[in-house]
Amino acid sequence: MLWNLPFIAVVLLTAIGISIILLKKNLVKIFMGLNVLTSAVNLFIIAVGYREGGIAPIFTNAPSPVMVMPTPQALCLTSIVIGVATTAVLLAFAMLLYRMYGTNDVEAIRELRG
């Protein structure tokens, strides 16, 4: 049970993230939901990549030649960087929309239909 704790957290975070995106009306809150979802996936990748007693691949310092490949951590770092860029662009959009429409409510920003 305790082993599955990170995965339970992933499921909870995913549920929270998706429900925020679907239920909230404010753009900034929707972006926060998106970030929660990204964190869920990052946590999932890190949890999948965890090996108990694994040795970090610092070759000069490793006590044994068997080490853990740091791919999941590398993936996670890349994904965090991409997440930052995504959030920056989204917030820039929210700012522009607020300037143009005077609101950040998704139900009011509905010029494009049909």
Partner 1 sequence: MIEEFIFTNLPALMVAVPLLAAFVCPLVAQISPAMRKMWVMGSMAITSLLGLLLVMRVYTMGTFVYVFGASTPGLSIPLDSGGIPIRIVFTVDAMSAFMDLIIAIVGFCVILYSLSSDERRTSPQYYYTLFLLLIAAVIGMVSTGDLFNFFVFIEISSLASAGLVAYSVEKGRAVEAGLKYFMVSALGGIFLLFVIGILYGQYDALNIAMIAQRMQFTMLDKIALVLLVAALAAKCGAVPMHFWTPDAYSLAPSSVTAMLVVASQASLYGLFRFTFTMYHLSLNYVTIGWTIIVLGVLSMVIGVTMAIPQKDVKRLMAYHAISQTGYMLLGVGVGLAVLGNETAINSFGTIAMEGGIFHIINHALYKGLLFLTAGAIIYRIGTRDLNRMGGLGHSMKYTMIFFIIGSLAIAGIPPFNGFASKLLIYESVYLFNPFLAIIAMVVSILTLASFVKVFHSIFMGPPLPEFASVREVPLPMLLGMGILATLVILFGVFPQTVVNLIVAPAVHALIDQSGYISAILGGA
Contact positions vs partner 1 (CB under 8 A): 21, 27, 30, 34, 37-38, 41, 44-45, 48-49, 69, 71-72, 75, 78-79, 82, 85-86, 89-90, 93-94, 96-97, 99-101, 109, 111-112, 114
As measured in angstroms, the least distance from the Cβ of 41 to partner 1 is: 5
Residue closer to partner 1 (CB basis): 63 or 114: 114
Q: How far is CA 105 from CA 20, 61, 94, 97, 100, in A?
A: 14, 54, 10, 10, 12
Residue closer to partner 1 (CB basis): 8 or 82: 82
As measured in angstroms, the least distance from the Cβ of 88 to partner 1 is: 9
As measured in angstroms, the least distance from the Cβ of 23 to partner 1 is: 15
As measured in angstroms, the least distance from the Cβ of 37 to partner 1 is: 5
Q: How far apart are CA 60 and CA 56, in angstroms?
A: 11
Q: How far apart are CA 2 and CA 43, in angstroms?
A: 16
